């Protein structure tokens, strides 16, 4: 193989790699849009920031501030099923300490997310909502409204 052929092969390989990077970045940008929501209940405020990922999954940050005196903050992740987010909130109370896990379910209604309540069970140290009991969205603790960035 002569020098010109080697350079062409190298150039083609570089172009393939660049095209792959460009097209994969565009695809990630479509799915990686960040959404920011805030909810207020009396003196408590909750902030939710999440991104949609591949395969109907989401990942983000969730923070609950209780009357300005304490907060629970951490990450939230799970699946998106139609108009419902179901997942887990991994957080540290008071902004530090031991990492805890709590199940979360939210229902989308009129561009707002309603935080659901359900019966929680624990299996092998993992809390989850019982599937035999429905999650109640009728009196949500938080109603999240989108914050336009």
Domain ranges of the chain: 1-31, 34-146
C-alpha–C-alpha distance, residues 40 and 140, integer Å: 11
- Cross-strand bridge partners of residue 80: 85
Q: What are the b/e assignments for 105-119, b being 16+ CB within 10 Å?
A: bbbeeeebbbbbebe
Per residue in 71-125, pLDDT (tens digit) is 899 999 999 999 999 999 999 887 677 889 999 999 999 999 999 999 999 999 8
φ, ψ dihedrals at 26, nearest 5°: -65, -40
Residue 67 vs residues 8, 37, 56, 64, 71: alpha-carbon distances, Å: 65, 18, 34, 10, 9
- Cβ atoms of residues 72 and 102 within 8 Å: no
Per residue in 20-65, pLDDT (tens digit) is 444 444 444 445 678 899 999 999 999 999 998 888 999 999 999 9
Note the pTM of the prediction, 2 decimals: 0.74
C-alpha–C-alpha distance, residues 65 and 87, integer Å: 20
Containing 102, the helix (H) or strand (E) segment is: strand 99-109
């Amino acid at each position: 193989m002569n020098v010109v052929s080697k350079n062409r092969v190298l150039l083609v390989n570089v172009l393939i790699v660049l095209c792959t990077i460009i097209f994969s970045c565009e695809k990630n940008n479509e799915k990686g849009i960040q959404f920011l929501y805030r909810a207020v209940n009396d003196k408590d405020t909750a902030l939710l920031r999440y991104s949609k990922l591949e395969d109907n999954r989401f990942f983000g940050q969730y923070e609950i501030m209780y009357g300005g005196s304490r907060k629970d903050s951490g990450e939230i992740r799970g699946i998106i099923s139609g108009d419902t987010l179901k997942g887990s909130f991994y957080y540290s109370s008071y902004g530090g300490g031991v990492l805890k896990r709590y199940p979360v379910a939210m229902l989308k209604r009129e561009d707002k997310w309603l935080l659901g309540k359900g019966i929680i069970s624990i299996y092998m140290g993992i809390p989850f909502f019982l599937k035999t009991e429905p999650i109640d969205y009728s009196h949500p603790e938080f109603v999240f409204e989108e914050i336009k960035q």
